[in-house]
Structure 1
Amino acid sequence: MSRKTSVRHFEENLSELETIVAQLESNQLSLEDALKAFEKGVKLSQDCQSVLTQAEQKVQILLETNEGERLETFDPESEQ
């Protein structure tokens, strides 16, 4: 799968996951439908995590091969 395809699928999966979360939070689904939606949401979440992990690995490789620079751990608390 090409990078553009991966990104497009990631964005589509993330959007669909957000829709599923909203449906589950609305408490409007039957138990059976909620379980199906939850199962699909777990699959979408795993797919998104896989794409993010691959992207992180690519960034690490690029930084390590670019003048010996290392990827630093992001700390959101220090950014404020």
Structure 2
Amino acid sequence: MSRKTSVRHFEENLSELESIVAQLESNQLSLEDALKAFEKGVKLSQDCQSVLTQAEQKVQVLLETNEGERLEPFDPESE
């Protein structure tokens, strides 16, 4: 899968996951439908996590090949 495809796939999965969360939070699904939605949500979450892990690994490779230059990890709490 190409980078653009995996990013698009990630964005579509994330959007679908957000929709499932909204459905589950609405409390309007039957127990059976809620379980099916939850199961699908778990799969989508795993797929998204896989794409994020691959992206993180690519970033690590790029940082390691940056000829010894050291970049500091991003910490949003420090800003």
Q: Scaled by the length of structure 2, what TM-score is found?
A: 0.93
Percentage of matched positions with identical amino acids: 96
User: 5+ unaligned residues in a row in structure 2: which ranges?
Assistant: none
What is the number of residues matched between the two proteins? 79
Look up the match of 1:22.
22
| 1:68–1:35 distance in 2 versus 1, CA, 3 Å | same
Say which is worse superposed, 4-13 or 64-73, in terms of deviation. Answer: 64-73
Q: Deviations over 1:33-52 (max 9, x none)?
A: 00000000000000000000
Q: Please, which moves more after superposition, 70-79 or 32-41?
A: 70-79
Larger mean Cα displacement after TM superposition, 31-40 or 64-73: 64-73
1:1-55 C-alpha deviation (Å, 9 max, x unpaired):
1111100100000000000000000000000000000000000000000000100
RMSD: 1.2
Where does structure 1 lack aligned partners over 5 or more consecutive residues? none
Tell me which of the two structures has the higher relative contact order, counting C-alpha pairs closer than 8 angstroms and 6 or more residues apart: 2
Provide the secondary structure at the position in 2 that maps to 1:54: helix
Query: Cα offset for 1:69?
Result: 3.0
1:43 and 1:12 map into 2 onto residues whose CA distance is: 13
